[in-house]
Amino acid sequence: MSSAGSRRQRVRENIQRFPPKDVHFRPKFAIVSFVSPCLVLLSLAMLMAIARVHAQTAQVGPIHFTNVTTAAGIKFVHFRGNDGIPINREIFGPGVCLADYNGDGYQDIYFVNGRDLYRRGIAAARNALYRNNGDGTFTDVTETAGVAGTGYGLGCIWGDYDNDGFPDLYVTQYGRNVLYHNNEDGTFTDVTDKAGVAGLEFGTQFHSGATFFDYDRDGRLDLYVGGYVALENGPRYCNISGVKTSCPPEAYKGTADILYHNNGDGTFTNVTKAAKIYEPQGKNLAVGAADYDNDGWPDLFVANDGLNAYLYRNQRNGTFDEVGVISGMALTVRGNTMAAMCISLGDYDNDGWLDLFITDFQKNSDHLWHNDGKGSFDEVSDQAGITVPTRDVLSFGGGFFDYDNDGWLDLFIANRSFTTMGSASSWRPPRLRALALRRLTWGGALLSPILTTTDSWTWSSPITETRRCCCATAAATATTL
């Protein structure tokens, strides 16, 4: 049997051992597919590093992370598109997603990039797929794989929509999104038009968040795609307090998210209105799918920028009921909307119910909700120690993960600064600040900061040298003392 054939057989055997429905429903906790507009690779690489340490041996003692980006062969640089004052879509950093696309047992990395929006002849900007070599290094296989992207990209997700055992790739962009089908030989084919998932049904949108999930439990992954704002008829720049700057989301109309049902023949059908989740004025940046009420059916969490957050409860008949306000997670405990840019779901107190974490804008603090097991969420940010350390930072990416393998979920939060200036020459590159929170008690919810850093992995990266607005590219490995 060929190597590709043996990989295919191994993947399919794993699928038979762990069928999708057994994995999707009633989890102790879930790793949720979501896309943040500024999902820093560091947080995902930390997950890889921790998993590697855990697989080798149980370690005792403090865990430290070392920047190995250069040694790993990762040379990706995010291209924003404009060297002057950025317009709305250019203030976000790139998405990144991981999957074992070739079935060799190692996680590979896909980066999303911007584009030259001003026709200046800059052709270098493209997305990038790095294949994991299995020895701590990566190889850029973008051109060979055929996944360079087709436009200004914001996010990405992996999902095996045709159940062939190999993950496929969906990239959210400004305008037309793209679906790459995995050919099982290391290459991909753009099947966007054939599949019908370009995301243009409600006009030209700025897409960011997306997730694959099987909402009707028919054994096939469906697709939810978030829409942020409608840019084509909106202003390019705004004048705020006499300063020309990029516009806030309030300057633009919202757009509708889209739910695609998987038909099982390589095509999808837009069922947004039929499923009762049509909201024409949403401003989605992140989305998560998980079974929050333990009824065996996946529900949808939708984070909006400056609007109520949505919680769509699965009605088990192909429709959803929006219960965000009723459940207590649509607004903060103080009754405010959020500039919600990241969703993470995880059972941080190990009570069998998925809890919720959402990042927010500077001065607003981030938010942690506890699932009471009765259909409601109680914000416990103050009690858990989240409010104070996140108040003076602008949080974009982040989420739950067990960094020390003690069986209790911790939090990693990627932050950025946002400086609005009046000219390109005075635009100041941001200083990224990472914040890690760990549990202090097993029985309670108290968290404390274990790391706040403005380390050199922002200032020394190629991104700051070209005045990119957001997140540095960094990978990490874990060591113990």
Closest CA to 280 of 257, 246, 304: 257
Question: Per mean pLDDT, which range of 1-5, 26-30, 119-123 is the poorest?
Answer: 26-30
63 — pLDDT class (breaks 50, 70, 90)? confident
How many CB atoms are located within 10 Å of the residue 184 CB?
17
Q: What are the tens digits of pLDDT across the range 325-346? A: 999 998 888 888 888 778 889 9
CA–CA separation, 305 and 338 (whole Å): 6
End-to-end CA distance of the chain: 45
- With b for 16 or more beta-carbon neighbours within 10 A and e for fewer, the 351-365 pattern comes to eebbbbbbbbbbebb
Q: What is the pLDDT of residue 62?
A: 78
Q: What is the pLDDT of residue 124?
A: 64
pLDDT higher than threshold 80 for residue 123: no
Which amino acid is present at 148? A
Q: What is the pLDDT of residue 339?
A: 80
88 — pLDDT class (breaks 50, 70, 90)? low
Q: What are the tens digits of pLDDT across the range 187-220? A: 999 999 999 999 999 887 788 889 999 999 999 9
Q: Give the residue with greater pLDDT, 2 vs 287.
A: 287
Burial of 333 (0-12, 13-18, 19+ CB in 10 A): middle
* Range 431-453 average pLDDT: 40
Average pLDDT over the chain reads: 76
Q: What is the pLDDT of residue 218?
A: 98
pLDDT higher than threshold 90 for residue 457: no
What percentage of the chain carries pLDDT values higher than 90? 41
Within 8 A by CB and 6+ apart from 426, the residues are none
Q: pTM for this one?
A: 0.79
DSSP letters for 289-358: EE-TT-SSS-EEEEEEEEE--EEEEE-SSS-EEE-HHHHT-SS-TTS--EE---EEEE-TT-SSS-EEEE
Q: What are the tens digits of pLDDT across the range 222-238? A: 999 998 888 776 666 77
pLDDT higher than threshold 60 for residue 136: yes
